[in-house]
A and B are shown apart, each in its own frame.
Chain A
Amino acid sequence: MSTTIASTEHDTQGGHGASHDDHPAFLQHHFVNADQQFDAAKMGMWLFLITEILLFSGMFVAYTVYRAWHPEVFLEASTLLDWKLGGLNTLVLLASSLTVALSIHYIQKGNQAALFWNLLITILLACVFLVVKYFEYMAKFEHGIFAGEGFDPHGVSHGVDYAKYNIPYAKQFFSIYFIMTGIHGFHVIVGIILMTWLLVKARLGHFSAAWYTPVELTGLYWHIVDIIWIFLFPLMYLI
């Protein structure tokens, strides 16, 4: 009996059951086969995604409550946001969603080069999103539009007199706007980090048609980031 334990013991920590013929290198010891491992990882990711949705739901609820209480303030305040930049960012994120889906498509077919290029484009698009967001934020900060106490709109640009937006509850609108887009932006940054890591591993040829779980999971994550923006855009910028 003790020999049985000893023989199974050495792959406890590493999980790379190299000694087993039927175990591919990526298969962790506590799974029976690659399908079980893949299904488990994917299910775990879906569960994580709904925690993300519920996290954002708190901010959507705050938005909805204050909008229901002060619809005219929210309508007016939202006109200060630049819908053209918001729209541009929507298109950028949608495109990045496409490229990440494409990268999964290609690695499923074993095309490592296409995986690399699509990941790279996704990262670049994500960076474009952040750059646009940066200029949007700066344009607001310039006119004293901050989250919370610092909220003090002033100045005139493009024929808009910011001071006249100094109305009660406009602060709430912009606080929610900054916190929501800020947390969303944080998720974009996390996405960029994850995908850069994927990019390195893809370059090293770690992924194949048989094993691409991290790509798939990061892709799912990225789509959720996109979906949240899909709701943010009309609610904040348009209506």
Chain B
Amino acid sequence: MSQTASAVHHSPKENYLNHQKTVWSWMSTVDHKRIGVMYLVTLAVMFFIGGMLALLVRLELLTPGVTIMGPDTYNQVFTMHGIVMVFLFLVPSIPAILGNFVLPMHLGAIDVAFPRLNLASYYVYLAGGALVLFGLFAGEIDTGWTFYTPYSSSASSAVLFLTSAVFVAGFSSIFTGINFIVTIHKMRAPGLTWNRLSLFTWSIYATSIVQVLATPVIGITMVLLFFEKMLHIGIFDPALGGDPVLFQHFFWFYSHPAVYIMILPAFGVVSELIAPFCRQPISGYKFVALSSVAIAFLGFLVWGHHMFVSGQSVVSSVIFSLITYFIGIPTGVKVLNWVTTMYKGSIWLKTPFLYALSFLFLFTIGGLTGIMLGVLAIDIHLHDTYFVVSHFHYVMMGGTVVAAIGGLHYWWPKITGKMYDEVSAKIACGLIFVGFNLTFFPQLILGSQGMPRRYHDYVEAFAGLHMASTIGSWVLALGLFVVLGCFVHSLRRGKPAPSNPWGAATLEWTNATSPPSPHNFVTSPIVTHGPYDFDAVEEIFSGDGASGDGSVQMDQPPSVAPSSSAS
């Protein structure tokens, strides 16, 4: 097929974005792609709110003493930053946006197993978000995102809104998890065996298992905390004979696995980013796939590493610490395999791949500092310092958010049917990388020197590093705004995207138009090769699919075999 001929046809007139235009058609849609887009917009708003709160926190810490706000306001701001970012952004983030959009297409399915539940899940999430924001304005929530008792059960009654909000948002998470597990089990296209699932699918699968098993426990924790506060039932409040450490068990039984709810999907995205831009199958596919599942299960056995200084049993601490080391193994397997995939690959430095490289660098720092914190003796020293703050930002922001943005760039042509400007996207990626490290690397040093977290003030000795960190946060914010600008520009002026700009081998690229038709595929795909068999893609596209130059154009999706695409 020739370039010029296909250029006329590559964007079909009717696609999932324009086949129905009313606002109601969006609000009542059960199309997984549209729901994914709705999540994208909503979560971008949440990320913006959380990010602004973060900038306020950093601004306050620019200089010692009161810079822009007093201690009480500061406590509320970092609390809201944590709650919005964790419960409203990070937990849903990749599964809700990219999972919704990509997962059914990776499976060759028309939709998720329960499309209406999927939509319900979105509205439940909105309800949870509304409750949180209401709590934000009702005010005076300064418990930190962890709601530790006894403080939370005696603090402002707005905590009641927040516990309900977390409870409600949890249901959204559970529904999404159930939906994805069933979809992966029951909705795969003919020929799509478990060994041919994309690694993104595998990681979403592992994530969903964690969501289903862990989220109910945060639900009941919030219910009990609610009653503790309302009725003083004396389960968690020591003044009434309760045990605050029991609350921490309940909380971390969910919240440690929740870390994997946040990071596992990022692992999946990174696998998808690395393979096509190295033109190699992910090395050790089975190990990478199964390590996700291993992490999901091991993740349930380590929650006590957040409680080393809580006064829990020492033997418990030792066991939790030991199992925490084990988690490093499957994670290391992944990093090793990603790096090996690059080895002798034909590396194509496009923006998504740059994000993948950033991820590898930042996540490795986040992961290694995590193992350090899992060491019982070191954690006693570093507990509740900026070292911990930096560690989880390296994992959550450097890991999840960077992977999410990378994934967004990667799938942007598929989602919107438009290409973005490569140069400004790369500049944004660079700004984010530099800004991120400038923000958080000083915090590692601060923490190791003893700067405690959640303080609005600090001694003069820390001033330089804090200032560097705050300046870094501005660079980081600038980078994120450039990303936003880049996407907005792409929507308005972007060149139409070909079906498979990256020459990738998964079904959403090989068998669907950009943007896809309302039913994803014109004919249900029959899968004949693995997700990273780029040589097979070469066959499908008669040679120009795997050349790595982004020139792939398709008249219409090849349905089954290469020969049928000629029609």
Contacts and interface: CB of A to CB of B under 8 A. Distances in A.
A/B: CB atoms within 8 Å of each other: yes
Given A12-B519, A57-B217, A149-B231, A43 B182 contact: yes
A58 B224 contact: yes
A65 interface: yes
Contact of B221 (A29, A43, A51, A58): A58
A99 interface: no
Contacts of A6: 14
Contacts of A4: 522
A63 to B, nearest CB: 10
B265 to A, nearest CB: 18
A55 B215 CA distance: 8
Interface residues on B, range: 35 or more
B124 to A, nearest CB: 14
B30 interface: yes
Interface string A47-83: 1101111111111011001100000000000000000
A169 B241 contact: yes
Interface string B251-273: 00000000000000000000000
B113 interface: yes
B30 A13 contact: yes
Contacts of B13: 2
Nearest to A42: B182
Interface residues of A, number: 47
A13 B179 CA distance: 18
A175 B220 contact: no
Contacts of B212: 47, 50-51
Contacts of B223: 179, 183
A39 interface: yes
Contact of A179 (B30, B181, B233, B249): B233
Nearest to B208: A47
A176 interface: yes
B556 A36 contact: no
Interface string B82-93: 000000000000
A44 B227 contact: no
Contacts of A66: 235
Contacts of B186: 36, 39-40, 43
Contact of B246 (A54, A55, A56, A62): A62
Contacts of A53: 216
Interface string B509-525: 00000000111001000
Given A5-B14, A48-B178, 13 more contacts: A9-B518, A12-B31, A30-B110, A36-B186, A44-B113, A57-B220, A58-B250, A59-B220, A65-B243, A65-B246, A148-B234, A171-B234, A175-B235
Interface of B: 12-14, 19, 28, 30-31, 109-111, 113-115, 117, 174, 177-179, 181-182, 185-187, 212-217, 219-221, 223-224, 227, 230-235, 240-243, 246, 249-250, 517-519, 522, 556
13 contacts: A1-B556, A5-B518, A6-B14, A30-B187, A44-B114, A55-B219, A55-B220, A61-B249, A65-B246, A168-B241, A172-B234, A172-B241, A172-B242
Interface of A: 1-2, 4-6, 8-9, 12-13, 28-30, 36, 39-41, 43-44, 47-48, 50-59, 61-62, 65-66, 146-150, 168-169, 171-172, 175-176, 179, 183
